Structure 1
């Protein structure tokens, strides 16, 4: 579980298409820094400290797991990505984007790279007015006063105007969804992704308890004999686990991620059971399925068979090492049929065959973007 910090940032621009500059910066901060919880109105002011075009300024509240030193480095990289070129000239200059850290939790930071609270913030209306709009009751760590009081004590006499235009706040995954189920074939990486997301978003994690199933090793040794007791035990355990875990949490207030959805029981049963066994199994499943809470988002991770076999071999579970490619193909075909028939389930299919989201941050961010923008 990652510690979440609250930071307040000031964004300003006086070159090019200023609204686009601010929106692009907001989007990149959301993608690389953390969830944006609040955005102030846009305020127009004359250039402060030099002759230049008028500025558009905003403040934003961001929740991030980054420490302050990583935060400042990423913000500098975002400025650069948006075209800012820093020079060695002294004094203030025109710029298409400027991002400053105003506050970071209630910390006081004095380092070569970063000073927090920002040393000039209390002197600038173009900072304090948008900041107070979204953080009036936050206490300044040094002054020990509410920011609203600090604004009243500000001696800056420059004029500041609120404009009508509004920026779009990217909706965080934790606000968009309450319950996400991640699925995929054996070895697709669903458990790894569920754990990574749970860690990032401090979500309740529901993991399938397959390791505790005594029939699983026996099934891989003698499929015909142990298929029915295996599938029935899985169905009973999945139903009990999901019922118990989901009942303990308010689905409107908590974020839950599971590495399976109960429909996988039917998919695997189709592959492993005889026709008569499957018909009996299906009757039991239909009774149970009506009672299970449906996820807000169902994510299916697709991996080609070659990669699945590599992953299975790599994780080294003895009872999985003799899984045949044809068996994996049948499982995938089962998921494929299920996906085609689901009209009322919010489905997202992500091909992860050519990416490594466990070891590559860019690949993980790619998946998060897919989920966020679904």
Structure 2
């Protein structure tokens, strides 16, 4: 899973309702590109390089997992969707919206389509002033000057005025401040690890990932389930108990919440499917003892994927020992999860159908899942009042 990179993007408009165009562009950036981390003030400046109406300009910092080329492509499509038309002669002209990538950390990009840092940013006060609002200490990787230094040194003496209107952060109202512990669960290949990782990155949460890769019995189990089912389930139970005990024991010392890609009760679900009756009876007794001692999630999210999509995901991620998993096994796992969830009246649970969604590559799908999670969280808060 890629970690988000911080893109510094300039926004400008000198046609129609300029502030509205800036806000609409920012809303689309949030929906299609990434989290809006910071927003500068809005500044009015004369048209630069041609005769035209005055511009409103701003800069934003955006955290995105997309590549620079993908971000550029999305910005161009946002411009087009908001009525921007580009001159064939590439001359300056009035425009409803103008979006430019200014900086991307220490990266230097010099391609036919994209140049980062923006080659003219040091000569444009209408870029440097709003950028200094949000990134005064950011270093220009070519000129080796901070943004605040470049602002002091620029030869651009164009008049520039800060307006009273502000741009709103479209994602500001969303968050997980009222949850201490969220568990993301799902079938094999449902995407629970990816979603938990993305949430942890975007909301600065402590991440707990299941350590299944270190289990020596897992490849053996897929070769001979009857022989290795009991040692596999016992080793998983012991490891999950140890990991959650260690990581959750001090979770209340953290200001952020905890998100995990499993809950320990999955041990019981898989054991029910894989173990013989007498083995399961013993296993269930041990599980009951362990489960009572563990901190329970405030919110439990189950990601539902249909079997065909699960098999596609399993094939795509390419783990050798998973390639012979049969559809019936996945169907039984899903049935067991749903039966367990329905039998539990004391857990706060949300089942989200993500069949047909690609929340890794489609940000709108990702945001729709977050909205569903936030919705169940708000319902819980209301019930407490």
Query: What TM bracket, shorter-length normalisation?
Result: 0.7 to 0.9
Q: Could you say if the C-alpha distance between residues 180 and 90 of structure 1 is closer, same or farther in structure 2, counting changes exceeding 3 Å?
A: same
Aligned to 1:88, the other structure's residue is in SS state: coil
Matched, 1:113 2:113: yes
Q: Could you say if the C-alpha distance between residues 204 and 72 of structure 1 is closer, same or farther in structure 2, counting changes exceeding 3 Å?
A: farther
Aligned to 1:12: 12
TM-fit CA distance, 1:261: 1.9
Q: Could you say if the C-alpha distance between residues 370 and 262 of structure 1 is closer, same or farther in structure 2, counting changes exceeding 3 Å?
A: farther
TM-fit CA distance, 1:134: 0.6
TM-fit CA distance, 1:152: 2.9
TM-fit CA distance, 1:344: 5.2
Aligned to 1:40: 40
Contact kept, 8 Å, 1:44 with 1:163, in 2: the verdict is no
Contact kept, 8 Å, 2:36 with 2:169, in 1: the verdict is no
In 2, Cα distance between equivalents of 1:182 and 1:165: 36
Matched, 1:213 2:214: no
Aligned to 2:381: none
TM-fit CA distance, 1:10: 0.6
RMSD over aligned CA atoms reads 4.6
Q: Could you say if the C-alpha distance between residues 193 and 141 of structure 1 is closer, same or farther in structure 2, counting changes exceeding 3 Å?
A: closer
In 2, Cα distance between equivalents of 1:22 and 1:346: 38
Aligned to 2:190: 189
Post-superposition CA distance 1:59-98 (Å, at most 9, x none): 0123345554454334323322433221224532222211
TM-fit CA distance, 1:40: 1.0
Aligned to 1:88: 88
Q: Is 226-235 or 133-142 further displaced after alignment? A: 226-235
Aligned to 1:242: 244
Of 351, 355, 362, which residue of structure 1 is paired with 2:354?
351
Matched, 1:267 2:269: yes
TM-fit CA distance, 1:283: 5.1
TM-fit CA distance, 1:99: 0.8
Of 370, 375, 382, which residue of structure 2 is paired with 1:372?
370
In 1, Cα distance between equivalents of 2:69 and 2:322: 46
Contact kept, 8 Å, 2:210 with 2:240, in 1: the verdict is no
Aligned residues: 364
Post-superposition CA distance 1:325-352 (Å, at most 9, x none): 4x65554343224444366546351332
TM-fit CA distance, 1:172: 12
Contact kept, 8 Å, 1:178 with 1:253, in 2: the verdict is no
In 1, Cα distance between equivalents of 2:277 and 2:92: 77
Aligned to 2:212, the other structure's residue is in SS state: coil
Q: Could you say if the C-alpha distance between residues 175 and 27 of structure 1 is closer, same or farther in structure 2, counting changes exceeding 3 Å?
A: farther
Aligned to 1:135: 135
Q: Is 255-264 or 82-91 further displaced after alignment? A: 255-264
Contact kept, 8 Å, 1:198 with 1:205, in 2: the verdict is no
Contact kept, 8 Å, 1:6 with 1:104, in 2: the verdict is yes
Aligned to 1:80, the other structure's residue is in SS state: helix
Post-superposition CA distance 1:138-191 (Å, at most 9, x none): 233444333223323344232312223331153699987997644223x44347
In 1, Cα distance between equivalents of 2:123 and 2:315: 62
In 1, Cα distance between equivalents of 2:52 and 2:345: 57
Matches within 5 A, 1:219-368: 220-221=225-226, 231-244=233-246, 252=254, 258-269=260-271, 281-282=283-284, 284-294=286-296, 298-305=300-307, 325=328, 329-340=331-342, 341=344, 345=348, 347-352=350-355, 354=356, 361-362=361-362, 365=363, 367-368=365-366
Structure 1 regions of 5+ residues with no counterpart? none
In 1, Cα distance between equivalents of 2:200 and 2:110: 30
Q: Could you say if the C-alpha distance between residues 252 and 232 of structure 1 is closer, same or farther in structure 2, counting changes exceeding 3 Å?
A: same
In 1, Cα distance between equivalents of 2:172 and 2:23: 14
In 2, Cα distance between equivalents of 1:366 and 1:108: 29
After TM superposition, the score normalised by the length of structure 1 is 0.73
Aligned to 1:146: 146
Contact kept, 8 Å, 1:45 with 1:160, in 2: the verdict is yes
Q: Could you say if the C-alpha distance between residues 209 and 45 of structure 1 is closer, same or farther in structure 2, counting changes exceeding 3 Å?
A: same
After TM superposition, the score normalised by the length of structure 2 is 0.71
TM-fit CA distance, 1:132: 0.7
In 2, Cα distance between equivalents of 1:153 and 1:172: 38
Aligned to 1:206, the other structure's residue is in SS state: coil
Post-superposition CA distance 1:102-128 (Å, at most 9, x none): 223234544443343333323333222
Q: Is 51-60 or 66-75 further displaced after alignment? A: 66-75
